[in-house]
Structure 1
Amino acid sequence: MSDTLALAYPWVKSLHIMSVIAWMAGLFYLPRLFVYHVEQSNPGDSRDTVFQTMELKLLRVIMNPAMIATWVFGLLLLFTPGIVDWGSVWPYVKLTCVAAMTWFHHWLGRRRKEFLNGRNTRTGRQFRMMNEVPTILMVLIVISVVVKF
């Protein structure tokens, strides 16, 4: 198995990077959709329905598959011999940040359901602030993986 992973490494790494890009795009865009949803519609109006459709499609068609693919290819990289130095700090920082990003993904999913049920209590400003979470996590992940401290 480890020989296969070593041979497949460039492909797995490529697929992991593409999955991360798709997931991050959704993590950046969904909170922005929530901002517009809060500020430009009311529960039950036509815009509310359009925003709900956009949010659902983004989450289910792009973000969920991208998150799963990111985790699958990331775990394959994790088990590829010689890739991770467990004596360093960086793999633990990355894993912690990816877990936080996964939590944030699910937090967004719960917010979507609040919009669906007409129960959103958050403001556009709050969603704008939450939109910074994936950026901070991305910076920490990239620095930890590239610098390998």
Structure 2
Amino acid sequence: MDFYYVKALHIIFVVTWFAGLFYIGRLFIYHVEAEKKEEPAKTILQTQYKLMSKRLWYIITWPSLFLASFFAFWMLWKNPIYLEMPWMHVKLAFVLALYFYHGFCHKIYKELQRDVIKYSATKLRIFNEAPTVILFAVVFLVVLKNSINWIWGVVGIILFGVLLMIGIRFYKKTRAKKSWDKYENELIEDDKKMRD
């Protein structure tokens, strides 16, 4: 098979792998947030999230990991010169980090399937940003292929990560304020009803 076909297939399965990782993180958050709902909504939502997670995890995400890796190893086998390039070593380190992230997602997936909730929605939101940072790093490395430029890219990624954390905290505060405002309005309405 021509090298470009293998490369195209590698890119396609990297995209589907990342899509699976991004979406599974959201499903984890929704599953944890459903824990605060009253019955029967809680059970209905968590049952649906379990089913959606199972399909996403085993039909899209795991196969994409294996196929993206298979085509990557095929490219490296056909062109071992890549293994001599410093940027490739850094890229492979990020890929290794992504494998660990995937493994940890599998652990969380198994726990949620058994109704074991160990992490808050906020912690999962922060955790869900890891593949975004890795994606930025890998794309910049592959495009720039320069040891100095990737250092600036990594610095940019760290700054991007800091901005993500600030955004998550801002979102949490905004959401908490809206919840408090809604609660206050309900109290005011209840007080009015009692006076009438």
Aligned to 1:138: 135
Aligned to 2:6: 12
Aligned to 1:102: 99
How much does 1:41 deviate? 3.7
* TM-score normalized with structure 1 length: 0.89
Q: Distance in 1 between matches of 2:76 and 2:135?
A: 18
Which amino acid is the alignment partner of residue 54 of structure 1? M
Q: Distance in 1 between matches of 2:57 and 2:78?
A: 30
- Aligned-pair identity in percent equals 32
* TM-score normalized with structure 2 length: 0.68
Q: Distance in 2 between matches of 1:118 and 1:37?
A: 9
Using a 3 Å threshold, how does the CA distance of structure 1 residues 118 and 82 change in structure 2: closer, same or farther? closer
Which amino acid is the alignment partner of residue 144 of structure 1? L
Mapped contact 2:16–2:64 kept (Cα < 8 A)? yes
Mapped contact 1:32–1:131 kept (Cα < 8 A)? yes
- Greater shift, 43-52 or 26-35, is seen at 43-52
Q: Distance in 2 between matches of 1:13 and 1:83?
A: 15
Mapped contact 2:21–2:61 kept (Cα < 8 A)? yes
Query: Bigger radius of gyration, 1 or 2?
Result: 2
Q: Distance in 1 between matches of 2:83 and 2:47?
A: 48
SS across alignment from 2:10: helix
Deviations 1:55-111 (A, max 9, x none): 11111000000000010000111122376151x321111111111111111111110
Mapped contact 2:76–2:83 kept (Cα < 8 A)? no
Which one has more relative contact order, counting CA pairs under 8 Å at least 6 apart? 1
Unaligned runs of 5+ in 2: 147-196
Q: Distance in 2 between matches of 1:8 and 1:57?
A: 32
Deviations 1:11-70 (A, max 9, x none): 000100100010000111111111111112469712111111111111100000000001
Tell me the matched-pair count: 142
Q: Distance in 2 between matches of 1:53 and 1:123?
A: 21
Unaligned runs of 5+ in 1: 1-6
More helix by proportion, 1 or 2? 2
How much does 1:145 deviate? 1.1
Aligned to 2:73: 75
Q: Distance in 2 between matches of 1:136 and 1:117?
A: 30
Runs of 4+ in 1 over 3 A off after TM superposition: 41-44
Mapped contact 1:40–1:47 kept (Cα < 8 A)? yes
